[in-house]
Every structure is written in C-alpha cells, then in structure tokens.
C-alpha cells in the first residue's frame, strides 16, 4: 500500500512538471540604426526581439510594448539600449584555422603539442574571434586530431565563449602535396601522423572516396580539399593542380552524396578550373583565376573566398629581416601574395559571388575585420563587403535559413558599432557589442 502511494505521488509530481510553462529568455535590442537585411537600406529606431536565442520580431522601437511580448511569470528579459549605435547581423568568416596560428615555433609545435593542447589554443582563438564580432566561422582544416570537433561542440553547448563553428576536419590532399603536413619530417614521424587513421591524404579514386567518408564519419560539416599546391607547405611543388581529374570527381561525388558541401584550396588557374568543372561549391584563394575561370564560376554558381588578409600577411612575414618561413615558403609567399588584390578585383568585376574569409591562423585570430579594408581596396563597396560577411557568407555555408540577416526564425546573432560601416568600413575593426543566440558576450 505504501509503495502504491509513493508511485502515485511521484506520478503527480511528474505531471506537474510536465504541465508547467517553459521559462523563456527574452532579449530586446533597441537600435539607433539597424541593418537587419544587408543589401537593403538600414532602418532608424528599430528593435530586435529575441526569444530563446531566435529572432521573433523586428519592428519600430515606438511599437515595442512590453505587454505584447507575452512574458510569462518565470521568463527573464533583458533590454539593451543601443540607440546611439549601428546594429547589424553577426559576421561570418568562411575560412579560419582556429587550432593554430602561424609563428616561428609552428613546425616544432606540430610534434610537441597534443590534441588537448590544440583544443586549448583553439579556445583562446575562438574567444578572440567572437569578441571581434564574428559569431559564425567555417574552419577549413585543422590537422588530423579531434580538437576542432571538441571545440565546435563546446562552443555549441555554451561551455566556452566562441563563434558557431562549421568544421571540416582533416584536409583531403595528395601525398606530398599541400595539406599533407609531413614534408620535411623524418619518415618515422611522418608515418606516425598518418598511422592515426585520421589523415586526409589520398592517392587514386578509391582512397579519395575513403578519405572523404572518413571525415564524414568523424563529424565533418563540410569537406575541404587542396586542388593545388599552396604557399605555406614546406615543398617546392608550385601552386598548380595536384589531383588528377578522376580523383577530384570522386571527392566531389562522394561528399555531395553524403550531404556535404565541398570547398577547394586553389591558387593556380588549372586547379581552379578543374575543381569548378568537377562541381566544387566554393574556391578558397583563387589567386591566378582568369576570364575563363570567371565564366566557370558563374556557370557553376560557386563562391570565391579571396582570403586577401592571408596574402598580405605572408608577404609581410617573408619581407621581414627576421622571417621564420622556410625557403620554399618564402619564395611562394613573395610570388603569390602580391597577386591577390588584383585577383579579387577581376572576380568582382566579372560578377563572381564572393564570400568573406580571412584564412585566420595565417593572420592573427581576432584581426579578421582587416579583410574588409582589403575587399574595399579590391573594388568592392563597403555595402558589398558587409554583404559578403553576412548574407553571402550564410549562403556559402548553406545556412541562409538561420544566418545572415535578422529576421523571424533566424539565430539572434548581432553586433553593434559606433558608426556606419556602409560609410566607413573601418568601424568594424572595433566592435563594441556582441550577442550570439540572444546571449550577450561583449558590451
């Protein structure tokens, strides 16, 4: 009898909890100027209402009535008065490497640092990135360990402050090519890296398919491949195409069949064109693209992520009397870096879709907004540059339903600056207010 009464009492308690109203977290942001939809004119004296991390309304501040917010007895509400600020959606950087940063000890750190060390370093970089106003990033290659996936999941759970991360895992590359980070190490050390089973190196159609599937198994949100040689790989293998046509096609087909977008690191024209012909969704860098490449971009509807800041950074390091780059790295830096501004100008004039990306990790994390100035130098208007880091950035990720604008149903990601970035793009170098999914991180 006592047991029956206890079971009945527990059932009543459970029913009372299930029937209780869920407490909501509400944020109201009053903006002096609001660019809720980049590409359209900003609005004056408008407010954004965010409930449980999602935008529910954008309306004139004069029409905001607390009685209409449907506030429950257990709900919490925060009101942020930004009537002297310019508010816009959180920024999107489509090319970062959060678990590393170029430095004189980089090659030594490859064999010194554990995966846990990389995750801790990534946490530091993630916080700096978020504080700079970038609430979403795409990480495009972070070695063979699981640090980037742990970092992605930790920021998603709110364990550490950082942007929303879309991660590729290991880069798909040919043995000895850009993305195979074992050049210059002893054979036993190189084989140790590859023995982990997480390496993205592949040769031939079958192993390239397997490499893609392995990254998907590990949790990759997208696939990154190196269609050409690169600047910072420690080999004098140039910057042209390194995969064969059948290998490229196998990578694209395998990734797309498993619901993953593919982006290709590509400097040389032949590699750019080959990746576009094979069906790649975006090209990173694109240094030597030409008129034919532009035509292929437009036909494919693919994005270009120019990473102009990376080009400027490697030139600065290579020209320094204290440069720590190896001879192959220095030679390629001085050859490739100076080409990138004019490349972006050609692409923009040719109507190529451009998404914002910095290659931070080559440049310092937290300095991401410097890319805006370089995009404007390459011929984009300030409005187009902002669009590339919001609406275009979301589309490049396949996340236009959740990111890029401040509309009902989208994530409550927004930033505020002291000035109008459509008139002076440099105001984005000093972001004063950062909110991600309705949670305030910088005020």
pLDDT one-digit tens code per residue, 74-125: 999 999 999 999 999 999 999 999 999 988 887 677 777 888 999 999 999 9
pLDDT attached to residue 114: 87
Could you tell me where in the chain the CATH 3.20.20.140 domains are found? 91-397
pLDDT attached to residue 145: 79
Beta strands 262-266; 223-226: pairing state: parallel
Whether residue 105 contacts residue 121, with contact meaning beta carbons closer than 8 Å, is answered with no
pLDDT attached to residue 188: 67
Q: Tell me how far apart the alpha carbons of residues 353 and 335 are, in angstroms, rounded to a whole number.
A: 25
Could you tell me where in the chain the CATH 2.30.40.10 domains are found? 20-89+408-442
What's domain 20-89+408-442's architecture? Answer: Roll (2.30)
Q: Out of 1.20.1250.20, 3.40.980.10, 3.50.50.60, 3.20.20.140, which CATH number does the structure's domain 91-397 have?
A: 3.20.20.140
pLDDT attached to residue 11: 46
pLDDT attached to residue 331: 81
Which residues lie closer than 8 Å to 368 by C-beta, 6 or more apart? 91, 93, 96, 129, 132, 134, 309, 358, 360
pLDDT attached to residue 231: 61
Which residues lie closer than 8 Å to 393 by C-beta, 6 or more apart? 91, 92, 93, 94, 136, 355, 356, 403, 404
pTM: predicted TM-score of the whole model, two decimal places: 0.90
Across the strands, what pairs with 266? 285
Q: Tell me how far apart the alpha carbons of residues 17 and 435 are, in angstroms, rounded to a whole number.
A: 31
pLDDT attached to residue 3: 44
Give pLDDT < 70 ranges for the chain.
1-21, 67, 107, 142-144, 179-198, 230-239
Which residues lie closer than 8 Å to 80 by C-beta, 6 or more apart? 27, 28, 29, 30, 433, 435, 440, 443
pLDDT attached to residue 142: 65
Angle at CA 38, nearest 5°, toward 438 and 441? 25
Task: For residue 169, give the nearest of 152, 191, 194 by alpha carbon.
Answer: 152
pLDDT attached to residue 8: 43
């Amino acid at each position: 009898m006592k047991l029956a009464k206890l079971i009945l009492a527990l059932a009543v308690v459970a029913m009372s909890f299930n029937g209780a109203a869920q407490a909501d977290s509400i944020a109201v942001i009053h903006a002096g100027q609001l660019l809720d939809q980049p590409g359209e004119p900003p609005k004056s004296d408008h407010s954004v209402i965010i409930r449980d991390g999602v935008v529910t309304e954008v309306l004139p501040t004069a029409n905001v009535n607390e009685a209409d917010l449907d506030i429950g007895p257990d709900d919490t509400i925060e009101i942020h008065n930004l009537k002297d600020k310019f508010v816009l959606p959180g920024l999107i950087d489509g090319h970062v490497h959060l678990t590393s940063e170029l430095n004189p000890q980089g090659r030594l750190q490859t064999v010194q640092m554990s995966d846990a060390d990389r995750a801790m370093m990534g946490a530091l970089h993630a916080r700096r990135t978020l504080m700079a106003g970038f609430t979403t990033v795409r990480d495009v290659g972070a070695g063979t360990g699981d640090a980037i996936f742990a970092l992605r999941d930790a920021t998603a759970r709110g364990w550490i402050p950082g942007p929303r991360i879309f991660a590729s895992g290991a880069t798909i590359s040919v043995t000895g090519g850009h993305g195979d980070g074992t050049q210059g190490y002893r054979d036993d050390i190189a084989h140790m890296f590859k023995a982990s089973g997480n390496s993205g190196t592949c040769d031939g159609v079958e192993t390239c398919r397997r490499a893609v599937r392995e990254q998907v198994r590990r949790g990759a949100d997208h696939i990154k491949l190196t269609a050409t040689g690169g600047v910072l790989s420690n080999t004098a293998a140039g910057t042209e195409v390194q995969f064969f046509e059948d290998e490229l096609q196998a990578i694209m087909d395998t990734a797309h069949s498993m619901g993953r977008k593919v982006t290709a690191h590509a400097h040389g024209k032949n590699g750019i064109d080959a990746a576009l012909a094979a069906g790649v969704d975006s090209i990173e860098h694109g240094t030597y693209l030409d008129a034919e490449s532009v035509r292929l971009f437009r036909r494919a509807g693919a994005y270009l992520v120019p990473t102009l800041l990376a080009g400027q950074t490697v030139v600065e390091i290579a020209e320094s009397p204290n440069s720590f780059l190896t001879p192959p790295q220095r030679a390629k830096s001085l050859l490739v870096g100076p080409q990138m501004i004019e490349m972006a100008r050609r692409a923009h004039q040719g109507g190529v879709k451009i998404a914002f990306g910095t290659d931070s990790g080559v440049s310092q994390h937290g300095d991401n907004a410097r890319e805006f100035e370089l995009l404007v130098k390459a011929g984009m208007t300030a409005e187009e540059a902002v669009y590339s880091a919001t609406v275009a950035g979301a589309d490049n990720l396949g996340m236009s339903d959740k990111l890029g604008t401040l509309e009902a149903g989208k994530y409550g990601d927004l930033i505020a600056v002291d000035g109008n970035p459509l008139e002076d793009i440099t105001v984005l170098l000093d972001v004063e207010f950062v909110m991600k999914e309705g949670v305030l991180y910088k005020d």
